[in-house]
Structure 1
């Protein structure tokens, strides 16, 4: 279940206002819980969050912590690299963005810490909208950190977490480059 439109009030999605007419944090959390309950009842076991999806991680964490049986069957992934900057506003000022891309080691470390503080059962952590142009697939510090994450060595007490990526256009060159990346004798992505 993608949590993008459930985790923040301003999201470009057809019918968003009809599905989520109330925009307070509390109302959005309640609606997210309703949707997660319905998804789990229908056998959906993967929830996709991102740091830039507003409160998606917090909403998912609340749902998981209140439903131990469902949590045991649920896999959660999240994404790093975009920072949510809209501050729960639907409309932002001209020239202002809802989110800002930062594919740096500092952003990875900060956002991973934030994600793990909410989602200790995180199983997949993806570069959000990786592109060749962002340079993230040539950033040795980032790639080494993702390999350590994969190997369970980045953060003491945390087991292995699969690194991944979502892509923006053009997709094929980015995916081909990512598939070819290796660290510590193993492919970084796609195993």
Structure 2
């Protein structure tokens, strides 16, 4: 791993991180938000919820937190928490640029975020991130790279990112969509002065969407740290919506469906950090049980049978409403 603090961490939960997509803004596509969040999703309510989650995560050994410019006020909430928790100096902080949050704290905005991978967007959002997180930023990722993203070919952008890397910030990228594998392989080929530009990759991978697996293994073999997002498939793998096969395995292990779903990802030899997208401290505690789940070959085969065609998976994801 490029982060010495994660490499040195000894708790099993250091391999689980906390993503702030679900609590940095009032609207998101995760299922069950009407149960998970207060009816009044004010800035103060979600600030408190975020801080409570960060407290719980840190106390239970989590040492990676993932934010983004488009996650509403996630960077702001995280920065406030870091300023009042000097003991959390060993927490690794990642954020992402490339989407601008446009919902203005609304759940029914016409557009919640706008994608822009230009040099100008990077410069603007890097300044915004620096104003909040400053030297606590460890990892800065391009948000949702696809095979046609200009971020893969823009030499000026590559030079700016290499400059950031020379200044001590790890540079990475995330992927989304049915062609994640192609995007990962294209990003692995990006170099500056003959050296690979990216040190981390963050991709969607879960028991329903496994198509990026081989490319993530290649990234791992190339020396990148792999971060897995959407391990719960935006709530589709949590009770009460979980597939019957997952419920069966969960019953056999006496663990929750969420813990089993995340444990299946942790079993992948290339998985460096698996993100929890918990919106409550109870969900987070249950997610962290993933490190204690012992899946046998038969159970793993049952879970493998749940994999969907990636285009069907992403089409369904694209139809999820913002709650």
Fold conserved (TM > 0.5)? Answer: yes
Could you tell me whether the CA contact under 8 Å between 2:118 and 2:150 is conserved in 1?
A: no
> Are residues 1:91 and 2:114 paired?
no
1:111 aligns with 2:125: yes
Question: Which sits farther off after the overlay, 56-65 or 127-136?
Answer: 127-136
Deviation at 1:142, TM superposition (A): 1.0
Indicate the residue corresponding to 1:123 in structure 2: 138
What corresponds to 2:85 in structure 1?
67
Whether the 8 Å contact between 2:20 and 2:66 is mirrored in structure 1 is yes
Q: Report what 2:33 is aligned to.
A: 16
The 5-angstrom pairing of residues 23-172 of structure 1 reads 23-70=41-88, 72-92=89-109, 96-120=110-134, 121-152=136-167, 160-169=168-177, 170-172=179-181
Computed over aligned residues only, the root mean square deviation of the Cα atoms, in angstroms, reads: 1.0
Provide the TM-score with structure 2 as the length reference: 0.55
Q: Which stretches of structure 1, 4 residues or more, deviate above 2 A after TM superposition? A: none
**Structure with more relative contact order (C-alpha pairs < 8 Å, separation 6 or more):** 2
- Name the SS of the counterpart of 2:138 in structure 1: strand
TM-score by length of 1: 0.91
The runs of 5 or more residues in structure 2 that have no matched partner are 1-17, 200-222, 224-323
User: What are the superposed Cα offsets for residues 139-172 of structure 1, whole Å, 9 maximum, x if unpaired?
Assistant: 11111111111111xxxxxxx1011010012111
Structure 1 residues without counterparts, runs of 5 or longer: 153-159
Q: Name the structure where helix makes up a greater proportion of residues.
A: 2
